[in-house]
Amino acid sequence: MSLRVYAVSNSQSHSIGPLICEQVCLGGLGWLVMYFADGLNREILNKIYQTLTAFLSRHSKAFVIRFDVSLYDSPSHNKIIGKIMRNISGKLTNYYNKTVIYGWVREQNNMDDKCHYHCFVIINGHNANKTKITFDYAMHAIKLVVDAKAHFPDYCYYMVKRNDLSSFQAALYRLSYLAKNASKENKPSKVKGYFFSRITPRPQQ
């Protein structure tokens, strides 16, 4: 089957940063995702795709924000990031009066390094269209945890519209960073390496 590819390497309205990519098939379509020498975790990549498509089946616009959380320690659990993300999600849900979903992956560069998390939140795009509110709530949530700090990277937010393949491609490409295999092998063996909010696609009528 030939794949249809929707890339936006020359798009000014949907910036995805430097384009170093590979082609994958998700949902029967060809998409561009980030390329890494150690490859991508397809289970995580599929989760990202399913989460975004399920959200868009329920909302015609999705505002996606990606950020990082670093710890000053490497605990044998994920309680800290769980607390941080629940705090951010809860505050945004109360502010917008809309459901917020989120996800994170855990990474650690080597056994002596401190662990860090790559995270995202997805909000109804009809209500949220600015990063400042999310940034402020994220920073507030981080301040409640002494041993953590947050960072918002370049190209950290995207407005994705249902049936707008170029905006979907831009967000998917950026979020595919979370699926890289590198730096994920050093976590404790019984500790979860990722989490995604549970959301099911809206039943077709």
Name the band, by pLDDT with cuts 50, 70 and 90, for residue 2: very low
Q: How far apart are the C-alpha atoms of 3 and 23, rounded to whole Å?
A: 9
User: pTM for the whole thing?
Assistant: 0.86
Residue 3 has pLDDT above 50, yes or no: no
pLDDT at residue 185 in the model:
83
Domain that holds residue 118: 21-196
Q: Which pair of structure tokens corresponds to residue 193?
A: 């390496």
Residue 34 has pLDDT above 50, yes or no: yes
Q: Which of 113, 134, 5, 17 is nearest to 65 (CA)?
A: 134
**15 lies in some domain:** no
Q: Which of 83, 115, 116, 130 is nearest to 102 (CA)?
A: 83
Tell me the pLDDT tens digit for each residue of 150-202.
888 888 889 999 999 999 999 999 999 999 999 988 787 889 999 999 999 99
Distances in Å between the Cα of 51 and the Cα atoms of 17, 46, 148, 163, 197 are 22, 8, 26, 15, 8
3-state secondary structure of 141: helix
Percent of the chain with pLDDT over 90: 56
Residue 9 has pLDDT above 60, yes or no: no
End-to-end CA distance of the chain: 28
Q: How far apart are the C-alpha atoms of 165 and 45, rounded to whole Å?
A: 17
Count of CA atoms in the C-beta half-sphere (13 A) of 111: 2
Q: Based on the structure, what is the number of domains in the chain?
A: 1
Q: Which pair of structure tokens corresponds to residue 41?
A: 């975790």
pLDDT at residue 134 in the model:
75
**10 lies in some domain:** no
Instruction: Give the mean model confidence (pLDDT) for residues 132-137.
Output: 78
Residue 70 has pLDDT above 70, yes or no: yes
pLDDT at residue 147 in the model:
75
Q: How far apart are the C-alpha atoms of 197 and 144, rounded to whole Å?
A: 22
Helices assigned H by DSSP within the chain: 42-58, 79-96, 131-143, 165-175
CATH number of the domain enclosing 191: 3.30.70.1910
**95 lies in some domain:** yes
Q: Which of 23, 7, 40 is nearest to 179 (CA)?
A: 40
pLDDT at residue 129 in the model:
67
Percent of the chain with pLDDT over 70: 87
**16 lies in some domain:** no
pLDDT, greater one: 13 or 24:
24
**189 lies in some domain:** yes
Q: CB atoms < 10 A from the CB of 179, how many?
A: 25
Residue 7 has pLDDT above 70, yes or no: no
